[in-house]
Amino acid sequence: MKSLIVLFSTFFIATISFSQQNDPAAKKVLDGVTAKFKSFKAVQAAFTLRQEDSKGTLLGTKKGSASLKGTRYRVSIAGTGQEIFCDGTNVWTYDKSANEVTITKPDPSASSISMQKLFTSFYDKDFLYKLNGDKTVNKKVVQEIEMTPTDKNKPFHKVYVLVDKNAKTIYSTRILDKSGNVMVYTVNSLNGSANLPDNLFVFDKSKYPGVEVVDLR
User: Could you give the CA distance from residue 68 to residue 91 in angstroms, rounded to a whole number?
Assistant: 14
* Letter string b/e over residues 28-38, b meaning 16 or more CB atoms within 10 A of that residue's CB: ebbebbbebbe
**Local structure of residue 155 (DSSP, 8 states):** S
Specify the pairing of strand 82-86 against strand 72-77. antiparallel
With cut-offs at 50, 70 and 90, classify the pLDDT of residue 108: low
What residues does each domain of the chain span?
A: 2-215
**CATH class as words, domain 2-215:** mainly beta
What pLDDT is stored for residue 2 in this prediction?
40
User: Could you give the CA distance from residue 100 to residue 58 in angstroms, rounded to a whole number?
Assistant: 30
What pLDDT is stored for residue 9 in this prediction?
34
What pLDDT is stored for residue 173 in this prediction?
86
